[in-house]
Amino acid sequence: MGLFIKVEPGVKVYVEDLNPGGCKTIVFLHGWPASHRMFEYQFDQLPKRGYRCIGIDQRGFGNSDKPWTGYAYDTLADDVRGVVEALDLHGFVLAGHSTGGAIAIRYMARHKGYGVSKLALCAAAAPSLIQRPYFPHGQTREAVLKIIQDTYSNRPEMLRGFGDMFFYQHTTQAFADWFFQMGLQAAGWSTIAVATSWLDEERLFEDLGKIHVPTLILHGIHDKVCFFPLAIAQNEGIENSLLIPFKYSGHGLFYDERDKFNKELIQFTEEG
């Protein structure tokens, strides 16, 4: 079931709500520059196991409205809160991939984990996607600036290159085209604005210590976007967290090792 939820005057985000009568709820936050559709290989399986799966298209991406402003992590986390309140969600698992993982962390800190019973971070872009003087593990600032410039000059070519580094396992041309089209569905300005947030956002380091629910960290050891040391930093910064390395995955572990990904997420959801 697809629906639009108003998160602020003039802005609605698209939500895919699968199996609303499910026994347990998992809310999925997608990574840049995709949409809820990136979790197709979870949505194909988890509802059959009795789970309610909710995929949110962040503003500027997928089917959501694409306003000119509002792409800082605080606002994106507030959008999630708007969806949670509109659907009256309680006791759910919040699962975020890449930038969606960063937004999930900000949601936990900014909204004190409202409604969340457990957190799943999947190749999360946290505590910093880029290198900083005190954190040498991310992408260079120059690499992100190049992504931004390439988006301005030739967004389709930028998306092709990003897609080529996303997965570790072989993908077919048809699959690459499908993934590429997801990126094209976003607005150019929102694609740029979120990438700019990677450069400016440093508060996730302190946000990690504000997470007080069981946390699962899934991360591919071959990740070329959010390098594996980011997962180690998350594990060290979040109490009651468990890190599970994916030995045959890159950034797209939700597809590279989709059976393992689904198994670990189901097991985590069921525990306790």
Residues 200-246: pLDDT tens digits?
999 999 999 999 999 999 999 999 999 999 999 999 999 999 999 99
The fold for domain 2-270 equals: Rossmann fold (3.40.50)
11-18 and 24-29 strand pairing: unpaired
Q: What is the pLDDT of residue 1?
A: 85
- Region 260-272: mean pLDDT is 95
Q: What is the pLDDT of residue 243?
A: 98
Let me know if 91 is exposed, middle or buried by CB neighbors in 10 A (0-12, 13-18, 19+): exposed
Q: Which of 36, 97, 219, 251 is catalytic?
A: 251
Which residue from 269, 7, 244, 210 is spatially nearest to 124, judged by alpha carbons? 244
223 is catalytic: yes
82-135 per-position pLDDT tens digit: 999 999 999 999 999 999 999 999 999 999 999 999 999 999 999 999 999 999
251 is catalytic: yes
Q: What is the pLDDT of residue 62?
A: 98
190 is catalytic: no
Percent of the chain residues topping a pLDDT of 70: 100
Q: Does 33 have pLDDT greater than 80?
A: yes
39 confidence band (pLDDT: 50, 70, 90): very high
Q: Which of 223, 241, 249, 256 is catalytic?
A: 223
Give the separation between CA 61 and CA 69, rounded to whole angstroms. 13
Q: What is the pLDDT of residue 192?
A: 98
Q: What is the pLDDT of residue 42?
A: 98
266 confidence band (pLDDT: 50, 70, 90): very high
Give the separation between CA 265 and CA 250, rounded to whole angstroms. 18
- Write down the mean pLDDT value for the chain: 97
Q: Which of 98, 190, 197, 249 is catalytic?
A: 98
Give the separation between CA 144 and CA 139, rounded to whole angstroms. 7
11-29 per-position pLDDT tens digit: 999 999 999 999 999 999 9
Give the separation between CA 147 and CA 163, rounded to whole angstroms. 12
Q: Does 34 have pLDDT greater than 80?
A: yes
Percent of the chain residues topping a pLDDT of 90: 99
